[in-house]
């Protein structure tokens, strides 16, 4: 199992140096907390905070983090519905 993620992006910009795999859960937690705050203060249906891609061996190929990617239902389903392969989407959603 790989212990390093070479490709890490924050808001579309490559994060220099990558990130240790053991930092992933804490990083996801911090971005999720920020997304919840944004969701509660905006008229948003969804706030996307991360997208993790896995390779064919189940290793993390790429981690993408977002600082408040606000989306309505159409944006969210169009963006995530087009993804293929093995991935994880981190998002918070408005309760209906």
Residue 2 has a pLDDT of 76
**How many structural domains does the chain have?**
1
Let me know: does 69 contact 48? Beta carbons within 8 Å. Answer: yes
Q: How many CB atoms lie within 10 A of CB 64?
A: 20
What element of type H or E holds 4?
Answer: strand 4-5
Q: Which domain holds residue 49?
A: 4-93
Tens of pLDDT, residue by residue, the chain (96 residues): 679 999 999 999 998 889 999 999 999 999 999 999 999 998 889 999 999 999 999 999 999 999 988 999 899 888 888 888 899 999 999 976
pTM value is 0.89
């Amino acid at each position: 199992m790989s212990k390093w993620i070479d490709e890490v992006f924050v808001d579309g910009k490559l994060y220099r140096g990558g990130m240790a795999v053991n930092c992933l859960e804490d990083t996801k937690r911090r971005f999720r907390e920020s997304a919840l705050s944004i969701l509660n203060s905006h008229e948003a249906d969804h706030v996307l905070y991360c997208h993790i891609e896995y390779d064919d061996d189940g290793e993390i190929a790429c981690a993408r983090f977002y600082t408040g990617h606000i989306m309505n239902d159409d944006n969210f389903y169009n963006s995530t519905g087009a993804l293929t392969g093995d991935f994880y989407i981190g998002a918070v959603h408005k309760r209906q």
